[in-house]
Structure 1
Amino acid sequence: MTNIPPQMWDKLPPGATTSAPPPPAPTYGQEVRRRLWANKPAVVSIVFIIALVIAAFFGPMFSPHTYFKQELKLANIPPFFETYSVTDSAGDTTRFFLNASNFNLYQVDDDGQVLGLLRGGRKDILKKSQPYEFGDQALTLDYSSLPARVMLEDGTELRPSGWKWNRTYLFGTDQLGRDILVRQLYGAQISLTVAFVATLVNFFIGVFYGGIAGYIGGRVDAVMMRFVEIISTIPLTLYVVLLMVVFDSGLLSIIIAIGSVFWVDMARIVRGQILGLKSQDYVAAARTMGASPARILTKHLLPNSIGPIIVTLTMLIPSAIFIESFMSFIGLGVTPPLASWGSLTSEAVETLRAYPHQLFFPAAAISLTMFAFNFLGDGLRDALDPKMRG
């Protein structure tokens, strides 16, 4: 036992404690935010989705191009190209690039801006060549063997001077000379609008349909869920195709078709949650205090099921985007000149071998968006789970 002198003992003032009070425990919302921000794939997905929405709805405003204007003489221009330069005796230099897929020459400036199609002389079909003149300098485009070559007067091949990014059309142009970037952004508008509106409709129908079935139970639940099973037995894609044929093609038809059948998964999940929660003590207490079934459902049961609902809602968005893209791909989507990611993919498939960049951009957009929403759904599932701590 330690001997402490009495003069070292002091009385604590009234109300004082021997240690600092513990910090307040974090709330459920704070824990959810902390776990969500700790999930790096989910955070990256949130940033990507926000950037995609901003670019889709505001990006076309800053572009000099439109999604419908056609420039056939500038068709199928790639997003980057090898440039050539030729100087005549007067010292004037002309820069151009060769589109090896359609055997055309396009003039460009030092920054990579496309100035227009170069007009050459009469094509020699037999020799597969076409002459060009730049001042007193003559060139010949020889496409008798692939890849095509630009030949000087002395028979030597003109070598490219370097690669340039297409500053006029950052993603290139399609087969009708329309800017792919602007059409990509308009396609994102349509795909995201269809996905969000259809998912919002599914949210309200699925949540309240499944909530009513789970809370009432008995014969009402049996009848309501048999109806859900009937819809589920028909393949979703086939059902949407049939509805699209009835309603004709168009943006509104896609939303109606997807929204009318896409809610069954949400209804099943909500019903399962309600069946597990309605036997809890706080529900019995609310019922004893005279709360109506509608109040119990909306104020007690559904708020406690919000975690699985949000996760399911997040997972439904990429599915809706994929279905809309598939409908547009097979020709049941938006009508030209409107474009969605599916219609852009369908148009690009026809020229895949010659112009692969036309397929790359819409396919990459669909893939990255689906990845982002799936990663976000996984992050929300882990963040909203009270068992996931640390």
Structure 2
Amino acid sequence: MVMADRPGVATASAPVTALTMVGLADSMLNGLARVPFRRFWQGPGGLLDNVGQSVTRQAVRSFMGYIVGLPIEEFRSMEKVLDELCRTVIPPFIHLTDDVEVTDDEINGVPGLWVRSRASSDAFVDDDAQKKTIDGTILYLHGGGYIGTTPMMYSAFAASLCSGTGCEVFIADYRMAPEFPFPAGVHDAADVYRGLLERGVDADHLVIAGDSGGGGLATSLVTYLSEIGAPRPAALALFSPEVDLDLDHPSITDNAKTDILPWNVPVTPYLHGVSPDDTRVSMTKAEPDARWFPPTFVTWGADEMFRDPIREFVETLRAADIEVMSLEERGMFHVFPILMPWAESSHEVYRELDEFVDRHVTPDPAAVPTH
């Protein structure tokens, strides 16, 4: 279920949606036409990485710049069209490249997608003795600044996580702003977490992960779970997390020219009157409890707008004696492992994450698929 399919969510008419898609294509083509005039071959990596980075940065920047100015009903309709396109294209592709399956499910009333190895599935392996062991379960909270994107748009990245870590991945389709501001998304994520435990997943084999706004939501979820007395997850994995909604750090303006994010990052729709200094939404303001906060993996780009708050977040965890594996990549922008999976910097992130998960998630020989 995408946001456009939820009751009470306004959408645009078919003609307006068509015009919105035409406008998006025009914006992206216009942006890409500028790439040859911006020394696209220069950068910290090899020639192919530099070219790929320049093209990706401009394409995503053009996309972001266009969508933040749309009326919400047009945004939701466009999001639905893009989700349907991804649903057609991505699953067959990742079946070939990562040998995974993608299936819909609902956990405690929250829809989402399972991404898991076909070698561990009843649909592809009849003999239980021949099935691949599930090493753990990842609850993934997708990015989108708390307002947009869908689980299917993240299925290719989830397939990479699945292949590398040996874990099955559930991408939660949590409610988003402005229709459902804070704390709706946190409550949905908590419902999924509890639902996974009810299905037999041991907290010692459960990893919470997320990127961008989903990364910020993951930290809010960890705080909320501690408040309600839920079992602690085995680990937390974050990719360019949005951990401070004040947006007042120097890198927010200093890196605006090198990042993919729009200069006017929207946070008001999500906060809906809640102070950006509230520790429930800005982890940099919190005092995490080392007795409960899980070991944490964090990666980000040195050229991204969220660089400084992420650095502060990492230091906050270390000051509280919480184990942190941090990886800042020179010359990289926001969520680069997702947008540039072919880059050497992304490969390094995948390798470090796989080792981190191996250290903190002990495979359960008795684990069975949770869907």
Question: TM-score with structure 2 length normalisation?
Answer: 0.20
With normalisation by structure 1, the TM-score equals 0.19
Higher relative helix content: 1
For the pair shown, the structure with the greater C-alpha radius of gyration is: 1
